[in-house]
Amino acid sequence: MEKKFMDSEKVEYGFGQHLILDGYGCNREKLMDLDFIYNFLSEYPSQINMTKIMPPYVFKYYAPVPEDWGISGFVIIAESHISIHTFPEKLYMSVDIFSCKPFDVDKAIEDISRLFEVQKSEIRLLDRGHEFPRSIRAVERFIRTERNQLAV
């Protein structure tokens, strides 16, 4: 698979990456398998070097419109979270991975696409918290310099 996204470089500012993957034509059996979804959320954080800090929370949802039922779940990781929502009758799922720690986005896309047998996908990658100070010392130097210039 061709690399579409590059790992984020270490920067002084910016909170992190948020991968949004919408998958179409997925394997229906996997989308409706509570244990499969649970295991994905439980095991996947370590595969992208993240730290799971609680067991996944996964539940089946029965919608007022019968074909909209599905499974939703999330796992909190030290770096933020991973969530999934499935719609087995529509062969659709959405996965979000939000992390303050850089991760291999291309690997995540490839892994999820393979695991759920995604036929077509929409992918978005957001850089969140552009002004989030990664290094308090760097921000402190910046503020002192700015204040000194204003005092002159």
Number of domains in the chain: 1
Q: What is the pLDDT of residue 125?
A: 93
10 or 109, higher pLDDT: 109
- What's the pTM? 0.78
Q: What is the pLDDT of residue 7?
A: 44
Whether 35 is in a domain gets the answer yes
Q: Which of 85, 99, 121, 135 is catalytic?
A: 85
Mean pLDDT of the region 45-55: 95
- % residues pLDDT > 90 (the chain): 67
Average pLDDT, the chain: 86
State the CATH number of the domain containing residue 26: 3.60.90.10
Whether 5 is in a domain gets the answer no
Whether 136 is in a domain gets the answer yes
Whether 43 is in a domain gets the answer yes
80 is catalytic: yes
Range of 6-10, 66-70, 99-103 with top mean pLDDT: 66-70
> Is the pLDDT score of 11 beyond 50?
no
Q: Which residues pair with 133 in a beta bridge?
A: 13
Contact assessment for residue 91 and residue 31, using Cβ atoms and an 8 Å cutoff? yes
Beta carbons within 8 Å of 147's beta carbon, 6+ residues apart: none
Domain extent for 76: 16-151
DSSP state of 10: P
Name the residue type at position 68: D
HEC assignment per residue over 18-47: EEEEEEECCCHHHHCCHHHHHHHHHHHHHH
Max Cα–Cα distance, the chain, nearest Å = 69
Whether 3 is in a domain gets the answer no
Tens digits of per-residue pLDDT, 104-133? Answer: 999 999 999 999 999 999 999 988 766 666
130 is catalytic: no
Whether 2 is in a domain gets the answer no
Q: Which of 72, 83, 94, 100 is catalytic?
A: 100
Q: Which of 80, 99, 113, 121 is catalytic?
A: 80
18 is catalytic: no
